[in-house]
Structures are given as structure tokens and as C-alpha cells.
Amino acid sequence: MSARLELTPEVLGHIDRLRGELVTLHAELVRYGLVVWTGGNVSARVPGADLFLIKPSGVSYDDLTPESMVLCTLDGEAVDPSRSPSSDTGSHAYVYRHMPEVAGQVHTHSTYACAWAARAEEIPCVLTAMADEFGGPIPLGPFALIGGEDIGRGVVETLTGHRSKAVIMQNHGTFTIGKDAKSAVKAAVMCEDVARSVHMARALGECVPIPQEAIDSLYDRYQNVYGQRPSSSTDQEVTA
């Protein structure tokens, strides 16, 4: 770590925790078949600092370790220049600078999502799972070259004001955002799942859209009601 960068013990603790989490989350991309070879990446914003961690460039998923995750500034510069971060680092940095609510990002070239990207089509909201997770269609982002900030700019322009946590970038693949890295990974998994299902449905014939009022209701239920609620202190009291 650069000697010029002074970090508090709390921030250093966050960095150590996130390094381990990112190794686990990259393994989830492999487990769900979202990546091949060394393509794809997960990043996580460091709480309390203008920094994020991201996968190193060109490193096999089997070889990833907590120490191999590259710490970067929000300008996309590696804190330790001896290790090269992902080629998508500039775009991740752009998203973090312009979407402060985002604390995790994922990029994959998953098969069915890429098929939609190659067709330059958004994925229409024709499944309740899409309404639940994405609140509508998964939008199409613009074509952009890899290596700078252009992809990040397209992600921000497409997802700002949109309920979807995923965008299909034209001729490229999926980019997802989340409140943390785990939620961004979940969005990537769900994006590929619905991309596959809708692709297969389209092969059989015309898909039937879900009415907007039903989409709104499904999204609200899934985001605000579904799952377990945190236990209150009164719930935990043992009565005689």
C-alpha cells in the first residue's frame, strides 16, 4: 500500500473484510456459469474512504486470493501500481463517482445476456421474477469501447432513475449495481436467469407483457415484504 495513503484502523478493517468477500463472490460467478476464463469482475466500495477493491486483470478465478484484490482510488488508479486492476476499473470508478448509492458492481459476459446485447435489445418484463428484482425491463445501454470510462458513463446514463440494477450493454455484456457487492452479484445471477428464459420464450412465439400496475405491485412486495424481517428485542424476550 502506498505510504502516501493514510487510512484509519476502521477503514483498514473494511478493506480486509471486503478482500475476503470479493474472493467468495467471484467464486459465485463461476458457480452460476456467468464467466469463462478470466473475463468478468466484481468490485466493492470501501466504506469511509474514496476507494474501492476490484479483481486483478487477467488472473484466473482459481488463483484469486484476498491479497490479490486491487485497491483503487475513485479516479481508477491502483494504490499499489505493481498490480494491474481489471480493464473495467475506469468504468467502475466512474459509476462510483456518479452514483454514491452504489457500493458494489459486477460485469459478466454471461451467455444469454450477451445474446440480447448482440441483438441490441432490452429484455422485456414478461416474468414475475423480472418485476420482483428489476421493477421492469432490463434496459439496453449504448455501445462503448473497453478500457476507459465510456462503459461506466453508459451505465450511469442508462440506470440513473431506473429501477433496474442491471443493464445490457450493446454488443458487450451485463453490468449490475447494488447496495453492496453481494446484491450486485445477485442481480447478475438473476439477469442471466431471466435472459435465458425470455430468450427461450421468444423462440416459441410472442411474449405476453405484464401490465405496469402489476409490475409495480410485484416490485413493492418483493423489495419491501419478501424475506425475513429483523427480530426486535421484544420478539426475543422469553416469557414465563
**Per annotation, catalytic residue among 50, 75, 80, 226:** 226
Instruction: In whole angstroms, give the CA distance from residue 229 to residue 207.
Output: 35
61 is catalytic: no
222 is catalytic: no
> 148, exposed or middle or buried, with CB in 10 Å at 0-12, 13-18, 19+?
middle
Instruction: In whole angstroms, give the CA distance from residue 172 to residue 159.
Output: 16
CA 38 to chain CA mean position, Å: 17
Query: Going by C-beta distance under 8 Å and a sequence separation of 6 or more, which residues neighbour residue 7?
Result: 1, 15, 49
Instruction: In whole angstroms, give the CA distance from residue 81 to residue 150.
Output: 22
**Per annotation, catalytic residue among 32, 132, 150, 220:** 132
Residues assigned a catalytic role: 132, 226
